[in-house]
Amino acid sequence: MEIFPKSVWATARTTLYLFLFVAQSMNRFSRKALWIETMSFTTLVLPVVLETELLLIEPWQRQVLPVPITGLSAGIAGPLPSLPGRI
């Protein structure tokens, strides 16, 4: 003899499956939303933050360093060598 009737077990099972379905759906949605938010931040906000930091550092750099540092030209004497087979 069971403690609860079959209808109670069926309702409990259905409720559990519904809860699991909703939890999985929310998990999938939140992962996608977090991915979109992270990529949006990386592509839209991060460059602005980096440029702002660069603008703040430039006056300090001019005070400390007498010559500006430029990408590849720092430390390379003369133009870059050409690739073989290219004119």
* Tens digit of each residue's pLDDT (9 = 90 or more) over 36-72: 999 998 999 989 998 988 888 877 766 766 665 565 5
Average pLDDT, the chain: 82
Task: Please indicate, yes or no, if residue 47 is contained in any of the structural domains.
Answer: yes
Task: Please indicate, yes or no, if residue 52 is contained in any of the structural domains.
Answer: yes
Task: Please indicate, yes or no, if residue 13 is contained in any of the structural domains.
Answer: no
Is the pLDDT confidence value at 87 over 60?
no
pLDDT at 82: 63
- DSSP per position, the chain: --SS-HHHHHHHHHHHHHHHHHHHHHHHHHHHHHHHHHHHIIIIIHHHHHHHHHHHHHHHHHHH-SS---TTTTT--SSPPPPTT--
pLDDT at 2: 81
Structural domains in the chain (count): 1
State which residues form the domain around 54: 20-63
Task: Please indicate, yes or no, if residue 24 is contained in any of the structural domains.
Answer: yes
Once rounded to an integer, what is the mean pLDDT over residues 66-84?
57
Task: Please indicate, yes or no, if residue 51 is contained in any of the structural domains.
Answer: yes
Task: Please indicate, yes or no, if residue 4 is contained in any of the structural domains.
Answer: no
